[in-house]
Amino acid sequence: MIRNVESRNILQGLFDKWNGKSKEVVNEVKVEDVQTTITSQPSKIYDLTFYRHKENRGRYQVRFGSYNVCSCYDYERDQVEKDFNKYKLGGYSTLETANALKLKYNLNKIPGKEYSFTKASSRPNAKTILFNYRIDGKMRQICYCRNHYKTKEKVLNHCRELVSQGKSFEEIRAIMKPLYSSRKDITLKNMEDNAPKAPLKWDSNGRLLFYNTDTNLTPYNLDVICSLHANYDNPFTFGDYVLQNLPRALPSAVFYLCENYEMIPQLSKEGKEIMDKR
């Protein structure tokens, strides 16, 4: 911005002279005087990574750290980066920014159901139900799960997290099918008994696993998460902030921890005991 009236007058005089609006000659303008009165905000702070799309070679997969931001054509890359910085500098979380850019740049812009739970017509009273999710514009069969609202909510949220990590349809199905699908002869009671008591556990090296996937988190990383907790009531905003400080951490595990913050102190204690034994 221009700091004072004198500087504004000098610049206006130059502008009028160059445009033929004034015959007055400006005797002298020191470059340093003008330059020190103007500041500009950087147009780009956040850098994105662009990978050639596996299935459509004319498009790019856009990523920010561990986040799958969107896909775009080559000529859209500069605008995607500008939009990403605009949203982030405007105070939006990475997840909110990615969702906005997916709507703008992804090819599946035609409105359609994001997901569905369908019953097999031959088994109207079955205790399991088929979960379908739209990936790359197509509704895909992911897994079967219990026909219960809590289970369906859990399955949907888990799938959304995997999609946000950039997992392919095959990878998502391979992860979710063993967790939620079951044989027809398994009763609801047995399914509840055999279900994992908690998705988080430590391996023998003191590494935290989330559904048996390495989270790249140690007990001391959990202490870092605790130190970042102040003034974050929204777990998704909190999770986004944690990922900025621990960029190698598994996003789905981070958001689970942020939604279940009360379990972190005990979990950290258990992990440190395992590391002490080593």
pTM above 0.95, yes or no: no
What is the average per-residue pLDDT within 228-253? 79
My answer on whether 82 and 96 are in the same domain is yes
Is 10 part of a structural domain of the chain?
no
Is 42 part of a structural domain of the chain?
no
Is pLDDT larger for residue 112 or for residue 23?
A: 112
Inter-axis angle of helices 94-105 and 235-245, to 10 degrees? 100
Is 11 part of a structural domain of the chain?
no
My answer on whether 119 and 187 are in the same domain is yes
My answer on whether 120 and 190 are in the same domain is yes
Q: What is the residue range of 139's domain?
A: 115-194
Choosing from 87, 105, 123, the residue where a domain stops is 105
Is 1 part of a structural domain of the chain?
no
My answer on whether 119 and 183 are in the same domain is yes
Residue 48's pLDDT is: 92
Per-residue confidence at 26, pLDDT binned at 50, 70, 90? very low
Residue 185's pLDDT is: 34
- Three-state DSSP class for residue 135: strand
What is the average per-residue pLDDT within 209-229? 88
Choosing from 124, 159, 194, the residue where a domain stops is 194
Is 34 part of a structural domain of the chain?
no
Is 25 part of a structural domain of the chain?
no
Is 14 part of a structural domain of the chain?
no
What's the structural domain count of the chain? 3
Is pLDDT larger for residue 125 or for residue 63?
A: 63
My answer on whether 139 and 71 are in the same domain is no
What is the average per-residue pLDDT within 159-173? 84
Residue 33's pLDDT is: 45
Q: What strands, in cross-sheet order, belong to the sheet with 128-135?
A: 115-118, 128-135, 138-146
Residue 232's pLDDT is: 67
Is pLDDT larger for residue 2 or for residue 99?
A: 99
My answer on whether 174 and 210 are in the same domain is no
What is the average per-residue pLDDT within 13-40? 47
Quote the percentage of the chain above a pLDDT of 90. Answer: 7
**What are residue 226's phi and psi, to 5 degrees?**
-60, -40
Is pLDDT larger for residue 157 or for residue 194?
A: 157
Residue 278 and residue 263: Cα distance in Å, rounded? Answer: 23
My answer on whether 189 and 205 are in the same domain is no
Is 13 part of a structural domain of the chain?
no
Provide the token pair at 15: 């502008």
Look over the chain and give the mean of its residue pLDDT values, rounded to a whole number.
75
Q: Is 55 exposed, middle or buried (0-12, 13-18, 19+ CB in 10 A)?
A: exposed
Per-residue confidence at 31, pLDDT binned at 50, 70, 90? very low
Are the C-beta atoms of residues 165 and 256 closer than 8 Å to each other? no
My answer on whether 176 and 140 are in the same domain is yes
My answer on whether 217 and 184 are in the same domain is no
Choosing from 143, 169, 194, the residue where a domain stops is 194
Q: If you average pLDDT over each of 32-46, 210-224, 236-250, which comes out highest?
A: 210-224
Provide the token pair at 260: 């279940």
Residue 22's pLDDT is: 47
